[in-house]
Amino acid sequence: MSLFGNKTVVITGGTGSLGKVFTRRLLSGDAGLPKKIIIFSRDEAKQHFMRVEYQQKKKVTDEVIYHNFEQLLEFRIGDVRNYASVCSVLKNADIVVNGAALKQVPSCEYFPFEAVQTNITGAENIVRAIRENDLKVETVVGVSTDKACKPVNVMGMSKALQERIFIAANINSSSTRFICVRYGNVLASRGSVIPLFHEQIRNNGPLTITTEDMTRFLLPLEKAVDTVFAAVADAAPGETFVPLVPAARMVDVAKALIGDRNISTVVTGIRPGEKVHEIMVSDEEAWRTFQKGDYYAIQPMLPELAPEQRREASLRKEYSSGDSLLTLDETRELLKRHNLMIDGEIKEEGEFLR
């Protein structure tokens, strides 16, 4: 499979959890070695340390930037909020993965317009840059979240609009394929609950549970990257790919991580904008959702993009994290399988993405 062979791939927000693992997979050449991988983000410190890590420098010096533009892996400072910056970085792009986001629910609740500027205006800047400059971008992948499905918080609302912006872009930019991926809680990603639980265990607890009924989809970072790969390979214009993944009660995740340690849990109550169960496909989307291998493909609702339906939809109801839950033992086994528990020891900060 040569999805990315000899392509220029731009990853916005490329220093984040998804961007790091996606970059590692691209550099492996398993799906074809790209001609260029451009990490586009606004945090110079994160870029610097990621650049040093990938160049395997023994000493961290600013000199490593001097040959930046000669490398397969290139780093660009910029912001999806800035139209000119986006135009510049997309000039020679073949594939764009939009991973830039404000994604922490409480932060977006307290600073909603900041979420709008990154999650909505950022997406529109990508669409505008391609359309108004007639850029020869082949594919744009919008990275979305289960919180965009029946959204109740600002993060989900802004991501839902990002999905619609990318889907609608197919109508006026027919030479570029705009597609989306939507997935749930990524295990051990920056800002997620498992690193929080590990930190609380290191400090001898207690572990904070918002409610004992809360469930979440559990998605390893590698599966998130697989979802992007699958969408690039098979998604039709305007489709949204959703992975089929297990779900568990968060109280069972906490119990599995605690193990035999004498550490307590405390119920703190649901935070602003949280749901008890997450939904990846809504009732309204179910009738236009079809299974493609290990993924659901949600077809666009716009009639200009919707293909003629020749078979029965795969879903009859919404796809929720509360539908079918792992047992405590199954939850423990999943965490072990993804190296989040090793011989009962707690992984140190920074080990998750290596």
List residues with catalytic annotation: 147
Q: How many CB atoms lie within 10 A of CB 171?
A: 14
Residue 242, phi then psi, degrees to nearest 5: -130, 125
Contact 82, 71 (CB under 8 A): no
- Separation between Cα atoms, residue 179 and residue 184, nearest integer Å: 17
Identify which of 49, 9, 50 has the alpha carbon closest to the alpha carbon of residue 29.
9
Is the peptide bond between 206 and the residue preceding it cis, with omega within 30 degrees of 0? yes
| Cβ contacts of 215 within 8 Å, gap of 6 or more | 247, 248, 249, 250, 276, 277, 278, 321, 322, 325
- Separation between Cα atoms, residue 273 and residue 16, nearest integer Å: 23
Q: How many CB atoms lie within 10 A of CB 344?
A: 10
Contact 238, 322 (CB under 8 A): no
Tokens of 349: 């900060």
Q: What stretch of H or E contains 222?
A: helix 221-234
Tokens of 220: 């390893």
| Cβ contacts of 8 within 8 Å, gap of 6 or more | 34, 35, 36, 37, 38, 92, 93, 94, 95
| Cβ contacts of 232 within 8 Å, gap of 6 or more | 3, 4, 95, 139, 141, 179
